[in-house]
Amino acid sequence: MNFKKRLKERKDSISVIGLGYVGMPLALSFARLVDVIGFDVDEEKVHSFKMGVDPMNEVDDTVMKETAAKFTAWEEELKKAKFHIVTVPTPINEDRTPDLKYVKKASEMLGKHLKKGSIIVFESTVYPGVTEDICIPILEKESGLNCGKDFKVGYSPERINPGDKVHTLENIVKIVSGCDQEALEEIAAVYGLIIHGGIHKANAIKVAEAAKVVENSQRDINIAFMNELAMVFDRMGIDTNEVIDAMNTKWNALGFKPGLVGGHCISVDPYYFIYEAEKLGYHSQIVTSGRKINDSMDEFVVNSIIKQLILADKIIKQAKIVVFGITFKENTSDTRNSKVIGIINNLKEYGIDPLIVDPYANEEELWNNYSLTLSSIEEISDADCLVFGVPHDTFKSLNWSYIDSFYKSNMDNSYKVLIDVKGMFDKNQMENMNIKYWSI
Q: Are 274 and 133 members of one domain?
A: no
Q: Are 227 and 303 members of one domain?
A: no
User: Residue 165 has what pLDDT?
Assistant: 73
Q: Are 194 and 280 members of one domain?
A: no
Domain boundary pick from 203, 228, 260: 203
Q: Are 112 and 49 members of one domain?
A: yes
Q: Are 197 and 312 members of one domain?
A: no
pTM of the model: 0.91
User: Residue 308 has what pLDDT?
Assistant: 96
Q: Are 343 and 401 members of one domain?
A: yes
Question: Is the model's pLDDT at 57 over the cut of 90?
Answer: no
Q: Are 212 and 187 in contact (CB under 8 A)?
A: no
pLDDT digits (tens, 9 = 90+) for 352-405: 999 999 999 988 889 999 999 999 999 999 999 999 999 999 999 999 999 999
Q: Are 253 and 355 members of one domain?
A: no
Domain limits at 244?
A: 205-295
How would you class 310 by CB atoms within 10 Å of its CB: exposed for 0-12, middle for 13-18, buried for 19 or more?
middle
**Of 147, 179, 265, 385, which one is the catalytic site residue?**
265
Domain boundary pick from 203, 237, 256: 203
**Active site (annotated) includes residue 147:** no
pLDDT digits (tens, 9 = 90+) for 116-172: 999 999 999 999 999 999 999 999 999 999 999 999 999 999 988 777 777 889 999
pLDDT digits (tens, 9 = 90+) for 205-260: 999 999 999 999 999 999 999 999 999 999 999 999 999 999 999 999 999 999 99
Q: Are 143 and 217 members of one domain?
A: no
Beta-carbon contacts of residue 75 (< 8 Å; ≥ 6 apart):
39, 109, 112, 113
Q: Nearest to residue 422, comparing CAs of 246, 312, 262? A: 262
Q: Are 392 and 415 members of one domain?
A: yes
Read off the CATH number of the domain in which 246 is found.
1.10.1040.10
Residue 37 pairs with which residues in a beta bridge? 15, 70
Q: Are 60 and 167 members of one domain?
A: yes
Q: Are 117 and 260 members of one domain?
A: no
Q: Are 418 and 359 members of one domain?
A: yes
pLDDT band for 265, please (50, 70, 90 cuts).
Answer: confident
User: Residue 275 has what pLDDT?
Assistant: 95
User: Residue 150 has what pLDDT?
Assistant: 97
What is the rounded average pLDDT of the residues 402-424?
93
pLDDT band for 60, please (50, 70, 90 cuts).
Answer: confident
Domain boundary pick from 295, 322, 355: 295
Q: Nearest to residue 197, comparing CAs of 169, 176, 178? A: 169
Read off the CATH number of the domain in which 393 is found.
3.40.50.720
User: Residue 166 has what pLDDT?
Assistant: 75
Number of domain units in the chain: 3
